[in-house]
Copies of this chain bind each other. A is one copy, B any other.
Amino acid sequence: MIQTADFDYYAPTKVVFGRGAESRLGTLVREQGCKKVLIHYGGGSAVRSGLIARVEKALDEEGIGHVALGGVVPNPHLGLVYDGIELGKKEGVDFILAVGGGSVIDSAKAIAYGIADPEEGDVWDFFVKKRPSKACLPVGVVLTIAAAGSEMSNDSVITNEKTGIKRGHGNDISRAKFAVMNPELTMSLPDYQSMSGCTDIMMHTMERYFTNNGNMELTDSIAEGLLRTVRKYTEIIHAEPDSYEARAEVMWAGSLSHNGLTGCGAKERDFASHILEHELGGMFDVTHGAGLAAIWGTWARYVYRDCLDRFVKFAVNVMDVEPGETGEETALKGIEAMEAFYRRIGMPTSLHELGVDPTDEQIDIMAHNAIIASGGKRGSARVLYEDDFVRIYKAARDDR
**CB–CB B8/A216 < 8 A:** no
**CB–CB A249/B217 < 8 A:** yes
Closest to A220 in B: B225
How many chain A residues touch B (Cβ–Cβ < 8 Å)? Answer: 40
**Which listed residue, B216, B248, B264, touches A216 by the CB 8 Å rule?**
B248
**CB–CB B224/A218 < 8 A:** no
Please give the count of copies of this chain that the complex contains.
Answer: 2
**CB–CB A245/B9 < 8 A:** no
Q: What is the minimal beta-carbon distance from A250 to any residue of chain B, in angstroms? A: 9
Does A244 have its Cβ within 8 Å of any Cβ on chain B? yes
Top 10 closest pairs, chain A to chain B, by CB: A6-B18, A221-B225, A12-B12, A9-B15, A4-B248, A10-B14, A218-B229, A225-B225, A7-B17, A218-B249
Docked pose: A226 CA to B226 CA in angstroms? 13
Docked pose: A221 CA to B253 CA in angstroms? 11
Closest to A17 in B: B7
- Give A residues with C-beta under 8 Å from B: 1, 3-12, 14-19, 21, 216-218, 221-222, 224-226, 228-229, 232-233, 244-245, 248-249, 252-253, 256, 261, 264-265
Contacts of A10 in B (CB 8 A): 14-15
Docked pose: A176 CA to B152 CA in angstroms? 19
**CB–CB B9/A253 < 8 A:** no
Closest to A219 in B: B252
Q: A217-B233, A224-B225 are in contact. List 10 more A-B contacts (CB 8 A).
A: A4-B248, A5-B18, A6-B18, A6-B19, A7-B18, A8-B14, A10-B14, A11-B11, A248-B265, A261-B261
- Residues A1 and B245 in contact in the complex (CB < 8 Å), given A8-B16, A17-B7: yes
Docked pose: A90 CA to B232 CA in angstroms? 59
Closest to A247 in B: B4
- Residues A252 and B225 in contact in the complex (CB < 8 Å), given A18-B7, A245-B4: no
Closest to A223 in B: B225
**CB–CB B229/A221 < 8 A:** yes
Closest to A175 in B: B12
Docked pose: A216 CA to B184 CA in angstroms? 16
Contacts of A232 in B (CB 8 A): 217
Q: What is the minimal beta-carbon distance from A253 to any residue of chain B, in angstroms? A: 5
- In the complex, 8 of the A-B residue pairs with CB atoms within 8 angstroms, ordered by the A residue number, are A6-B17, A6-B21, A11-B12, A216-B252, A221-B229, A225-B225, A248-B265, A252-B264
Best-surrounded residue of A218, A229, A248, A264 (most CB of chain B within 10 A): A218
Q: What is the minimal beta-carbon distance from A120 to any residue of chain B, in angstroms? A: 24
